[in-house]
Amino acid sequence: MPSGCQERRAAVLINEQSFINEEGPVAGRPRGVDDSVILRAAAEVIGRVGPAGLTLAAVADEVGLVPGTLVQRFGSKRGLLVALARQSAHEAEAHHERLRQGRPSPLAALVALAEESMSLMDTPERFANHLAFLCMDLTDPQLREYALAIHEAQRRAILALLDEAVAEGELRVGTDTAALAGSVQALIAGTGLTWALDRQDTLPERLRRAVTALLSPHTRSKEMS
pLDDT digits (tens, 9 = 90+) for 178-188: 999 999 999 99
Alpha-carbon dihedral 60, 63, 66, 71, rounded to 10 degrees: -50
DSSP code, position 22? T
If you average pLDDT over every residue of the chain, what do you get?
A: 85
Q: Which of 71, 93, 85 is CA-nearest to residue 18?
A: 85
What is the distance between the alpha carbons of residues 115 and 188, in angstroms, rounded to a whole number?
9
By C-alpha distance, which of 203, 155, 143 is closest to 182?
155
Given a contact cutoff of 8 angstroms between Cβ atoms, the answer to whether 192 and 118 are in contact is yes
Distance, in Å, from the CA atom of 180 to the CA atom of 172, rounded to the nearest integer, reads 12
Residue 3 has phi, psi (to 5 degrees) of -25, -60
Q: pLDDT tens for residues 70-88?
A: 999 999 999 999 999 999 9
Which pLDDT score is estimated for 92?
A: 87
CATH superfamily of 16-224: Tetracycline Repressor, domain 2 (1.10.357.10)
The gap from C-alpha 15 to its chain's centroid, in whole angstroms, comes to 20
Q: Output the CA torsion sign for 75, 32, 58, 15.
A: positive
Q: CA–CA separation, 209 vs 16, rounded Å?
A: 41
Q: What is the pTM of this model?
A: 0.80
When mean pLDDT is compared across 12-21, 25-34, 62-71, 162-171, the lowest value belongs to: 12-21
